[in-house]
A and B are shown apart, each in its own frame.
Chain A
Amino acid sequence: MGNWERLVWNQRDVLLAGLSITVQVCAIAFLVAILGGLALCLVRLYVRPLRWLAVLLIEFFRDTPIFVQLMWVAYVWPEVFGFPNDFFNAGWLALGLQSSGYLAETFRAGIEAVPRGQRDAAFSAGLSPVQTFRRIVMPQVVLASAPSIVNQFTVIVKSSTLVSVITVPDLMSQSQKLVNVWYEPIEILTATAAIYITFIFLVSACGKLLADRLRLRYGLVAA
C-alpha cells in the first residue's frame, strides 16, 4: 500500500490538474458537437443547395478514425486555415467535429420521426416555421435522442485520452509524465484507468437516469 500512497495519493495534485484539463476539453468539445451537429443536420435537411456539402462533412467526420482526425486538425489545419493556434484548441476541435457528425445523424433521425401531420397542424394554427421547429419538433427530438447524446459524450471522454499525444496536459498525459519520473507504471496507470472507467461509468449512469426522468415527465416518446 505504501507504493499507492507515494505514487498516487501524494501525486493527486498533478492528476487532478490533468483531470480538470480533461473535463475542460470534453465540455467544450461536447458543446461544439451539439451546435455543429445541429447546424449540419439543419443544412442537410433544409438548405437544398448546400446539402451535398453537409453530407460530405458528416460522412467525413464519422468515417475517419479520431486519432487520424486529431493529427490532421492539429498539424494541417493551422497551416491551411490559420486555426487552431494551439494544441488545446486542436484537441477540443477535433473531438467536437467527429462527434458533430454522429450527432447530426441522431438529430436527423429524431426530426424525421416527427409525423408530418404535426407540422401541418402547427402551420394551420398559424405558427411560423421557426416557431414550429422550436416548439413542436425540437422538444421531441431532444427527448428521443437524449440517450444517444449522453452516449456520444462518453465517446468524447474516451477519445479525449488521445489529446495527450499532441501534448495537451490532460489526465492521461499527466499520468504518463509521472510514469516517466518514477519508472513505476503499475500503480499510476492502474489508478488512471480506474479514474477514467469510474468517471465514464458515472457519466453514463447519470445520463441514463436523466434521460429516463425526462421521458417519464414529458412522456411523449415511447422508449
Chain B
Amino acid sequence: MSDALKQSLDLSMFWEYRAILLQGLIFNVLVFLCAASVALSVGLGAALLRINRLWPMRLIGTLHVEIFRNAPDYIMLVWVHFVLPLLIGIAIRRRVEFHPFTSAVIALGFVYSGYFAEGFRAGIQAIPQGNLDAGRSFGMSERLILWRIILPQVVRRMLPEALNLFVSMFKATTIVSLIAVPDLMYNVSMVIQQEMRPLPLYTGAAITYFLLIFLLSVGVRHFGERWRRTSMA
C-alpha cells in the first residue's frame, strides 16, 4: 500500500513528458479563449432578447437561458459533436463534420452563454432609466447608448462574477478530451496507455490543475474584493 502511495507521488514520469503535456495545456487555454468569446457574445445577445419589447423575442431569450443553464456540459458536447453536424447536413443536403475543436468551442460557449446572459441582464436592468433618457435627449442612437452608456456600467458591475464564471469555464475545458481534442487530460491518457502507469500521471494531472486553478481563483477572489471596495459604493 505504501508502495502505491510512493509510486503516485513520484512525479518524475510526469516531468519526463512535460513537453507533450504542456502542449495539451495550451489546447485547454485555446479552447477556453475561443469558448469564452462565444459565451460573451451569445450571452449578450440572449440578454438583449430577454429584455426586448416583443414577447416572442423575450420567449426565445428565456428559453435560451433556461436550456443552457440546466444542461450538463458533457451531453451538450456530445450532442454538438455528433448530432448538430447531421442536422446541418440534412438542412443543406451535404455531408458535414465538425472538427473536435469546433464542437468543443460551440458546446462550452453556448452552455456558459446562459450564465453570462443572466449576468448581463441583471447588469442592464440595474441601470437607472434616467441614464437612457439622458442619452436619448442628446440624440444618441440606441446602438451608441448600448456601447457608451449601458455596457461600461454593466461590465463594471458583473466583472467579479464573470471572472468566477471564467474560472469554472476553464475547469470545464478538461472534458473536451472526451471528444479527442488533444488537451492535457487527453495527452495524459495517451501516455498512460503507453506506459501503463496511471498512478503518477493522474496524480500529476490533478496536482497541476489544482495549482493552476487555485492560483487563478485566489487572484480572482482578491481582485473581486478590491473591485467591490473601490468601484462600488
- Show the binding face of A for B, using Cβ within 8 Å: 59-60, 62-69, 71-72, 75-76, 79-82, 154, 157-162, 164-165, 172, 176, 179, 185-186, 189-190, 192-193, 196-197, 200-201, 204
Contacts and interface: CB of A to CB of B under 8 A. Distances in A.
B187 interface: no
A72 B217 CA distance: 22
Query: For the side of the interface on B, what is the size category?
Result: 35 or more
B75 A185 contact: no
A69 B79 contact: no
B71 A162 contact: no
A66 B74 CA distance: 12
Contacts of B72: 157-161, 172, 196, 200
A63 B205 CA distance: 13
B206 interface: yes
A162 B74 contact: yes
Interface of B: 1, 4-5, 7-8, 66-67, 70-76, 78-79, 82-83, 86-87, 171-172, 174-175, 177-178, 185, 198-199, 202-203, 205-206, 209-210, 213-214, 217
B210 A196 contact: no
Contacts of A172: 72, 74-75
Contacts, number: 109
- Which of B210, B213, B214 has the most chain A CB within a 10 Å cutoff? B210
Given A68-B174, A79-B4, A63 B214 contact: yes
B175 A67 contact: yes
Contacts of B199: 75-76, 79-80
Contact of B8 (A60, A67, A76): A76
Contacts of B202: 68, 71-72, 75-76
Contact of A65 (B66, B86, B174): B174
Given A80-B199, A186-B83, A197 B70 contact: yes
A80 B9 CA distance: 10
14 contacts: A63-B217, A67-B177, A72-B206, A79-B4, A80-B5, A161-B72, A162-B175, A186-B83, A189-B78, A189-B82, A193-B75, A193-B76, A197-B67, A197-B70
A52 to B, nearest CB: 15
A67 B209 CA distance: 11
B203 A72 contact: yes
A5 to B, nearest CB: 18
What 10 A-B pairs are tightest by C-beta distance, nearest first?
A158-B72, A79-B4, A65-B171, A65-B174, A161-B74, A63-B213, A200-B70, A161-B72, A63-B214, A185-B82
